[in-house]
Structure 1
Amino acid sequence: MTVSMRGQPWLEAKATRAVMAALQAAGGPDCARFVGGCVRNSLLGQPVDDIDIATRLRPEETMAALQAAGLKVVPTGLEHGTVTGVSERKPYEITTLRRDVETDGRRAVVAFTEDWAEDAARRDFRLNALYADAAGMVFDPTGGGLADAAEGRIVFVGEAETRIREDYLRILRFFRFQAWYGRGQPDATGLAACAALKAGMAQLSAERVSKELLKLLAARDPRSTVRAMAETGVLGQVLPDAQPLNLFEAMCGLTGDPVLRLSALLPADEGAVVRIAGSLRLSNGMRDRLAAAVAEGPVVAPDMTEAEARAAIYRLGRGAFEDRLTRAEAAGGDGAALRRLAAEWTPPKMPVGGRELVRLGLKPGPETGRVLKAFEAGWIADDFPSDGHEGRLRAAMASPA
Structure 2
Amino acid sequence: MGYLSKLAVDYPASGIRRMFDLAEQYDDVIKLTLGEPNFDTPANIKEAAKRAIDEGYTHYCPNAGLYELREAIADYYKKYSKEYTSENVMITVGGLEALALSLLTTINPGDEVIIPDPGFSNYVGQVMMVGGKPVAVPAYEENDFKIDAKDIEKAVTPRTKAILLNSPSNPLGSVLNKPDIEAIAEIAEKYDLLVYSDEVYNRIVYDGCRSFSMAQIPEVRNRVMVIDSFSKSYAMTGWRLGYIVADKNIISNMPKLQEGVVSCVPTFIQKAAVEALTGPQAAVEKMVGDYARRRDILIDGLNSIPGITCKKSPGSFYAFPNIKSFGKTSVKFAEELVRGAKVVVVPGSAFGKMGEGYLRLVFANSDENLKEAVRRIGEYIKKAY
Q: TM over 0.5, yes or no?
A: no
Q: TM-score if structure 2 supplies the norm length?
A: 0.29
The answer to which structure, 1 or 2, has the higher relative contact order (CA under 8 A, 6+ apart) is: 2
Task: Look at both structures and tell me which one has the larger radius of gyration over its CA atoms.
Answer: 1
Richer in helix (by share)? 1
